[in-house]
Amino acid sequence: MNLRGINRVIVAVRDLEKSKNYYSELLGASFHDANWTGENYGINVAISWDAGIELCAPMKGRESDSAVSPFLDARGEGVLNVVFNYDDAATALDKAVSNGAQCLHSLDYTQEEIDAHLDALFSKYEEHVLGTSAELGFSVTIAEITEK
């Protein structure tokens, strides 16, 4: 269970387009729309794999009930989640749970889903979101993301 490092930082924002433009200008980041990941949660998503940033904003009309709305209301824009990449996410998750962390949500994409939605960039894409906000001020995601 080796930690590979931080894959990306997820930032809650109010205006996705404005934030994409800001990070693009500031860092030279290029973003891929990933709204398909957030529709069920009422959020629009854009990911910059090169900059290691994911932006999440409430969908129009969902500002009051999106998954990021409580965070934005309480804290304003800022770091919502940090995704740590491991060579074995299942083992890392077991260790986190044995240390008292709660897994809130998991996903493990098939290669077909990776190819269709993640530009075929990866051979493995698995994530486990932990409920660490009370302790850390942001949630932690344990991931196993392997580039092709």
Q: Which domain holds residue 47?
A: 3-147
Which strands form 103-108's sheet, in the order they lie side by side? 32-33, 43-48, 53-58, 3-12, 78-86, 139-147, 122-130, 103-108
Asked if residue 38 lies in contact with residue 20, where contact means CB atoms within 8 angstroms, the answer is no
Tell me the residue length of the chain: 148
Reported pTM? 0.94
**33-52: per-residue pLDDT in tens?**
887 778 888 999 999 999 99
What is the reported pLDDT for 123?
97
65 φ/ψ angles, rounded to the nearest 5 degrees: -130, 15
pLDDT < 50 regions, the chain: none
Q: How many domains does the chain have?
A: 1
CATH code for the domain of 65: 3.10.180.10
